């Protein structure tokens, strides 16, 4: 059994296609560890849709985000900052979690 990470359902196609390879979270969700496999569910209805392998976890400031980070989120930099402001109003410190889809067993838990 793997620990669970959730994403808004609008991100499912990008994650499954490999276009979204990072997520930015607050300190409460900084718990994933490098090398860990996570079950991924939708936030809205807790529907499982894949497993990801965590490749990196590190702190990052809002001011340090650039176009590369935005591409890894499959957004423009302006879109990324708008999304973060909507989810985490007033916050300027985040945890960057870089991941890839896990190969192998992707059967539903």
Active site residue 73: yes
Q: What is the DSSP letter of 10?
A: G
Active site residue 20: yes
> How many angstroms separate the CA atoms of 11 and 48, rounded?
13
Active site residue 23: yes
Active-site hit among 21, 44, 73, 79:
73
Strand 3-7 relative to strand 48-61: parallel, antiparallel, unpaired? unpaired
Nearest-CA neighbor of 100 among 45, 7, 36, 42?
Answer: 36
Active-site hit among 4, 6, 21, 23:
23
Helices vs. strands in the chain: H and E counts, helices first: 3, 5
Catalytic (active-site) positions: 20, 23, 73
């Amino acid at each position: 059994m793997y620990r669970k990470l959730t994403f808004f359902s609008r991100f499912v196609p990008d994650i499954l296609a490999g276009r979204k390879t990072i997520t930015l979270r607050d300190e409460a969700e900084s718990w994933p560890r490098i090398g860990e496999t996570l079950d991924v569910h939708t936030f809205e209805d807790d529907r499982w849709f894949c497993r990801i392998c965590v490749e990196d976890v590190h702190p990052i400031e809002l001011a340090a985000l650039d176009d590369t980070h935005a591409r890894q989120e499959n957004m423009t930099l302006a879109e990324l900052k708008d999304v973060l402001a909507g989810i985490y109003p007033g916050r300027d410190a985040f945890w960057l979690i870089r991941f890839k889809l896990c190969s192998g067993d992707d059967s539903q838990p």
